[in-house]
């Protein structure tokens, strides 16, 4: 996926440079096009922010040497992650009986070899070094006892 993105960026840059060289546009527009090309080459658009639900007990008992390794790593080989829009249905199904629940936010590098996707389901194929966690957020419940996304 990253290779395809890089090819598209390269093709776009080549086209823009050819247009700039042809001198067929006003200098102000050439300048804007040049700035746009530079921004495309310096910004990664593929980094992915994902989320993992964990109970307080699991986080405490399944972390050793700052690496969180849930049972799913031994059983299936990976840690389940989700996009933010899938978090509440998961929390209110699989985690409804937990007392304290956290949401871990991790932005994975687009070249992370351990992050693999099967359809829309991202999985991380190793224990999670907790230094990668950008935010650890505490869930709360609404008046019906359902989990609510942390702010």
DSSP string, the chain: -HHHHHHHHHHHHHHHHHHHHTT-S-HHHHHHHHHHHHHHHH--S--EEEEEEEEHHHHHHTEETTEE--HHHHHTSSEE-B-GGGHHHHHHHHTTT-SSEEEEEEEE-TT-TTEEEETTEEEESS-EEGGGEEEEEE-EE-TTS-EE---
Residue limits of CATH 3.20.170.20 in the chain: 48-148
Q: CA geometry: angle at 48 spanning 9 and 62, to 5°? A: 150
Mean pLDDT of 42-59: 79
On average, the pLDDT of the chain sits at 81
- Which CATH homologous superfamily contains domain 48-148? Protein of unknown function DUF952 (3.20.170.20)
Residue found under tokens 């746009």:
36
Q: Which comes out higher in pLDDT, residue 150 or 6?
A: 150
Q: How far is CA 113 from CA 9, 38, 75, 123, in A?
A: 21, 27, 20, 11
pTM across the whole model:
0.68
Residue 130: HSE in the Cβ half-sphere, 13 Å Cα cutoff: 14
Mean pLDDT of 70-95: 93
pLDDT confidence band for 1 (50 / 70 / 90): very low
Q: Measure the CA–CA gap between 47 and 65, rounded to whole angstroms.
A: 26
């Amino acid at each position: 996926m990253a290779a395809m993105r890089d090819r598209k960026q390269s093709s776009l840059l080549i086209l823009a440079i050819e247009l700039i060289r042809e001198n067929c546009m006003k200098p102000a527009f050439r300048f804007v096009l040049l700035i746009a090309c530079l921004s495309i080459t310096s910004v990664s658009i593929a980094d992915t922010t994902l989320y993992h639900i964990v109970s307080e007990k699991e986080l405490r008992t399944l972390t050793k040497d700052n690496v969180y390794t849930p049972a799913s790593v031994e059983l299936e080989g990976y840690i389940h992650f989700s996009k933010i829009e899938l978090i509440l249905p998961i929390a209110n199904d699989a985690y409804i009986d937990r007392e304290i629940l956290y949401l871990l936010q991790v932005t994975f590098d687009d070249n992370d070899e351990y992050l693999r996707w099967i359809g829309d389901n991202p999985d991380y194929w190793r224990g999670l070094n907790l230094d990668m966690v950008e935010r650890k957020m505490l869930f709360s419940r609404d008046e019906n006892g359902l989990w609510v996304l942390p702010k």
